[in-house]
Amino acid sequence: METNRKSRIASVFIFLISLPSVSLAYRPGDIVPMSKKGQYHSSRTAWHDMIGKHCPIFAVNREVLIPIAKPTGYTGTDPYKLSFQVGKEKLLIPWLFVINRKSSEVPMIDVHLRYSGSDLHGVTAKVIDMPHHYVETHPEIRQQFWDPQHWPKHILIRYTWKEQSEIDVSSGFYVLFGSGLMLSFILSIYILQSSRDKLARFVRETVAESSMPAGGVAKVE
């Protein structure tokens, strides 16, 4: 029984310390899933998955045009904003103003993604003016964007990837610290269980000794 308990504790410990190594791995060229939602006035859409050709490609810099449907109740006088979730990790990009943002330039969403090895670590984004060379190459984008009757409108997203060193001292420290705490916790449980067993055995032996008849020896099973 003692051996089985030790085996179970060891199995639990091995499983727990292996948790930090579990990751949502990608390979170069994989589509990184992405979803978006919009808000106009107090009306907010649900999250909608974006199709593959509009999503980031792991470790590949590229630009895509995404369609923006006409918001419900749109009057053309107030800003329209978008938010995104990126990757299996659902990393959040907060609200970005894309229409009626008080600028005479066509907007572009500049997205920066951080990764190391096969893991996506973070994402940031901001709205900037679309580069003039792109507008000159695709003048129809500007025309359609400023045409109040033309929907859906299209917005350029630029995905830029930056590789981080896989040696992360801070993360390694936290993993080791967490593993140490978990080991201490498991050892404490084991010591407590062992102490309880010893105490119970001591109580049984004490009771048995106190119940011995004078001049005799009681048999303890």
62-115: per-residue pLDDT in tens?
999 999 999 999 988 889 999 999 999 999 999 999 999 989 999 999 999 999
Q: Would the pLDDT of 178 be above 80? A: no
- Burial class of residue 32 (count of CB atoms within 10 Å of its CB; 0-12, 13-18, 19+): buried
Q: Would the pLDDT of 38 be above 90? A: yes
**How remote is the C-alpha of 99 from its chain's centroid?**
29
What's the rounded Cα separation, in Å, for the pair 181 and 27? 33
Q: Would the pLDDT of 3 be above 60? A: no
Contacts 24+ apart (CB under 8 A), 140-145: 141/65, 141/106, 142/106, 145/106
| Residue 168: predicted pLDDT | 54
Q: Would the pLDDT of 184 be above 70? A: yes
| Residue 7: predicted pLDDT | 57
More confident residue, 9 or 106: 106
Q: What is the pTM of this model?
A: 0.67
The pLDDT tens digits for 131-142 are: 988 889 889 999
Spatial contact of 24 and 119, defined as CB atoms under 8 Å apart? yes
Q: Would the pLDDT of 166 be above 50? A: yes
Residues constituting the chain? 221
End-to-end CA distance of the chain: 18
Torsion angle of the four alpha carbons 59, 114, 157, 97, in this order, in degrees rounded to the nearest 10: 170
Helix (H, G, I), strand (E, B) or coil at 75: coil
More confident residue, 187 or 3: 187
